[in-house]
Amino acid sequence: MSKPYGDDFDDRNTRKKMVVYCVLAASLIMLAFLWILYQNNEERHKRIAAQVKEQEKELQELKAAQDEMTELGVGQNNLRSEDLDFWDMYTPTRTPEPEPTAGVRAAVTPVPRRREEPALVEEEVNERAEDDLPEEEPDDEKHIKVTDPEGKTVYYEIMDEVAKNRYTLATDLSMKNARLSYNDGDLIAQTGIAVSKAQGVIDWAKVKADGINFAMVKVAYRGYETGIISLDDNFVLNARGAAANGIAVGTYFSTQAVSETEAIEEANFTVGAIAQYGITYPVAIYIEKIKNDTARTEKLTMSERTDYVKKYLETVKSFGFTPVIYADRNTLICDLDLSKLTDYSIFLSDPVDFDAAKMSGFSTEPEPKNVPTPVPSPKPTYYYGTSSSTGGTTGKAAPIPSSASSGVYSVNTGFYAAANNTASRVSGNTIRNQGADNAGDNGKEPVTPPASETEPWYTDFPYRFTIWQYDPTGSVNGITGSVPMLLGFLDYTKR
């Protein structure tokens, strides 16, 4: 008897199972494939997200760097003539101060000693009532007069905490052939010069032979618009040449720092540049006034400028050098708070009044260069009396007294001396003709006219300074053209 349905039935069941198994297997494979694909996409999304985040971070860092470079002026196409540094090849000229109009009194604005608040602007000054202005100039020796570029007179109170100028310039300062000398019995000042590439190639042997004891050599400068630091082209040549000829060497850096970071950068650059040259004189930071253009430091407050200068000085001092502050008279009085810089000496720039010095009887013309034998001065003819309206003399000619010598003759009253048909007036009890040397031919130092009889021709800077630049256009053998002349009141080589 046969089985129900037969073998065909079993075969159909087997085929059905095989189909089900195949479908299940394919489904499992598809699911595995989809899982793998999902995992890959997830990893890819994570990588993309990480890359986007990294790019955003890089963009932020790049923007911050660009902002910083913009503040420093880097990358801007604004190169100016100062950055080519050729202006100081030209000799500055002395322009006499305009005489005040008769009957017109300049406005006087007293300024408090601390000077933390900004100065009054012109509109505020004009709005002030006339009664607010002092009737007379302060005459208590506690104020210093400053005339600003607009011609306005301001009086600053002299700070008690800053060391004072105790030099006896009225009696112990003298001039011969436009060079100053100072000797008060205890102190004999040193003669120096300030040099840069503007002086060209210098014959330092001739400079030494001309009586120069020290040289302040420009080491570098920061561009007043670009903010780029550049080494002075002749620094190495000048530093080596001066030292090789026995001239003490100091340096100065023209600052344009607008942050403490830049001030430290300037100091580090200076120290790195001068380290191998045996510097024995001070290392100065020069706060230079930029004329006829706008400097990047122009909008600094007094507090900011003082802080940046102090940071430079502190950094230089930390390397064992002697730092000093180099600036002109008005900058030191108006733009720096010297009460915060009392640990550092001052390198003052304040030209003498050569016209007033000449009226005081000093020889204000430079000695001719490379002239071996000077021409002796002729005997003058003396005229007793007073000057005429045409600038000549009145009175009778008198014979030359036996005590007179080559244009120098002392009497108890004022008179005029003439030589080679020229006459010159001399105040006080000392007379010199135009051809006479400062010391005269009798070997004695002439008497300096009393301060009360002549307008002071020397600096009135009230604070102590150790170096004084008194003439920006001096003359020295071995240097073509002009050179700033210095007087040193401290021999740093002996410290």
- pLDDT at residue 456 greater than cutoff 90: no
pLDDT of residue 68: 66
Compute φ and ψ for 228, nearest 5 degrees.
-90, 135
pLDDT of residue 228: 96
- pLDDT at residue 465 greater than cutoff 50: yes
Note whether 287 and 346 are within 8 A (CB): no
Average pLDDT on 80-88 reads 46
Q: Specify the CATH number of the domain 169-352+460-494.
A: 3.20.20.80
pLDDT of residue 65: 66
Report how far residue 151's alpha carbon sits from residue 88's, in angstroms, rounded to the nearest whole number: 25
pLDDT of residue 424: 33
For all residues of the chain together, what is the average pLDDT? 75
Report how far residue 251's alpha carbon sits from residue 269's, in angstroms, rounded to the nearest whole number: 12
Find the range with the poorest average confidence among 266-270, 363-367, 423-427.
Answer: 423-427
Note whether 241 and 206 are within 8 A (CB): no
Q: At what angle do helices 260-274 and 302-318 cross, to 10 degrees?
A: 30
- pLDDT at residue 170 greater than cutoff 60: yes
pLDDT of residue 64: 76
- With CA atoms as reference, report the closest residue to 400 among 382, 412, 386, 378: 382
Report how far residue 263's alpha carbon sits from residue 115's, in angstroms, rounded to the nearest whole number: 23
In Å, how far are 211, 270, 344, 346 from 466, measured between CA atoms?
A: 19, 21, 10, 6
pLDDT of residue 287: 96
Compute φ and ψ for 346, nearest 5 degrees.
-115, 135
pLDDT of residue 47: 77
Note whether 480 and 465 are within 8 A (CB): no
The residue with tokens 């050729």 is 86
Note whether 94 and 354 are within 8 A (CB): yes
Bridge-based pairing state of the strands 214-222 and 190-195: parallel
- pLDDT at residue 179 greater than cutoff 50: yes
Average pLDDT on 80-89 reads 46
Find the range with the poorest average confidence among 101-105, 212-216, 463-467.
Answer: 101-105
The residue with tokens 């840069």 is 196
For the ranges 13-27, 125-139, 166-180, the maximum mean pLDDT occurs at 166-180
pLDDT of residue 208: 97
- pLDDT at residue 199 greater than cutoff 50: yes
374's tokens: 């000077």
Percent of the chain, pLDDT > 70? 64
- With CA atoms as reference, report the closest residue to 359 among 271, 264, 266, 454: 454
pLDDT digits (tens, 9 = 90+) for 320-376: 999 999 999 999 999 999 999 999 999 999 999 888 888 877 777 777 665 444 444
Find the range with the poorest average confidence among 63-72, 311-320, 342-351.
Answer: 63-72
- With CA atoms as reference, report the closest residue to 484 among 466, 495, 470: 470
Dihedral sign for Cα 257, 258, 261, 262, please: negative
Bridge-based pairing state of the strands 153-157 and 108-111: parallel
Binned at pLDDT 50, 70 and 90, residue 455 comes out as low
Binned at pLDDT 50, 70 and 90, residue 177 comes out as confident
pLDDT digits (tens, 9 = 90+) for 97-107: 444 444 443 44
Across-strand partners of 252? 218, 284
Report how far residue 283's alpha carbon sits from residue 323's, in angstroms, rounded to the nearest whole number: 5
Domain locations along the chain: 105-157, 169-352+460-494, 375-457
111's tokens: 């300024």
pLDDT of residue 370: 57
- pLDDT at residue 73 greater than cutoff 90: no
Note whether 250 and 492 are within 8 A (CB): yes
How many other CB atoms sit within 10 Å of the CB of residue 329? 18
Binned at pLDDT 50, 70 and 90, residue 84 comes out as very low
pLDDT of residue 39: 80
pLDDT digits (tens, 9 = 90+) for 228-253: 999 999 999 999 999 999 999 999 99
pLDDT of residue 4: 52
Average pLDDT on 26-36 reads 87
